[in-house]
Amino acid sequence: MHFGFALIAATLLAACSPLPEAGSPEAGAAAARDAAGFPAADRPVAGIVASEWSSGPDRDAADESGQLIRGLDIRPGMAVADIGAGSGYHTLRLSPAVGPQGVVYAEDIVEAYVSGLRREAEARGLKNVRIVVGTAEDPKLPAASVDRAVMVHMYHEVESPYALLWNLATSLKPGAQVGVIDLDRPIDRHGTPPALLKCEFEAVGYRHVRTAPMTGGVGYLAVFEAPTQRPKPTDIQPCEAP
């Protein structure tokens, strides 16, 4: 996704609090739920404006992929899901990191993006890349197959965060980790406040492992561990945007 760089604050915000119980005057429209029972996000959703966040040279200079790979301890033989892969900046770099015995699931809800990525992966002979077309609510990944999932500069574009995270959990192996890179700024400015991110993940049962700033002005990396137990969709309490 094509957005400008911004420096982030090193001091992390405290976690957001869940919204008031349904029926309270404060609950309002945030209590709305979809047909499956998932709560609506009490926050804006940034529009998908491009298939890549920034130019390759800028990201290369910041060693964004290297920081991501080291931060999640991605190793040969692992299965990694690149959620919102877009034009495949990270997919193309994760492929050699997991090696021929590993796999990279390049997932996106915009089929045109991953169609171009499929052609690029084939042209490069990357036989460990698997293209997946998901939906806004479900990445459609194989069950219990993923060691690491990454969401890079795209979480603020997620329309149904609770449904997406709940469905993503079914594809994660026990102890698997999810890494999110984003900018520490409001969602309508194409970023995600770390406290809001933490609250939304924890609302679905994920365990927050750590959040730390990345070098090079590319944002922060937040790491979460897969849920050991998911709440029922109707039991998920939405988080209040700051």
What is the CATH classification number for the domain harbouring 118? 3.40.50.150
For tokens 């420096």, name the residue: 7
pLDDT band at 7 (very low <50, low <70, confident <90, very high): very low
pLDDT band at 58 (very low <50, low <70, confident <90, very high): confident
**Size of the chain, expressed as the number of residues it contains:** 242
pLDDT in tens, 19-50: 444 444 344 444 589 989 999 998 888 776 54
Contact 128, 157 (CB under 8 A): no
pLDDT in tens, 121-157: 999 999 999 999 999 999 999 999 999 999 999 999 9
- Cα–Cα distance for residue pair 87/190, rounded to 1 Å: 18
Q: Is residue 29 part of a domain?
A: no
Higher pLDDT, 115 or 197: 197
- Cα–Cα distance for residue pair 240/145, rounded to 1 Å: 32
Is residue 230 classed as helix, strand or coil in its secondary structure?
A: coil
Cα 232–chain centre separation: 21
How many other C-beta atoms lie within 10 A of the C-beta of residue 45? 15
Q: Is residue 24 part of a domain?
A: no
Q: Is residue 15 part of a domain?
A: no
Which pLDDT belongs to residue 96? 97
Q: Which domain holds residue 97?
A: 36-235
pLDDT band at 68 (very low <50, low <70, confident <90, very high): very high
Higher pLDDT, 180 or 59: 180
How many other C-beta atoms lie within 10 A of the C-beta of residue 22? 12
Q: Is residue 241 part of a domain?
A: no
- Cα–Cα distance for residue pair 224/226, rounded to 1 Å: 7
Question: Domain total for the chain?
Answer: 1
Q: Is residue 173 part of a domain?
A: yes
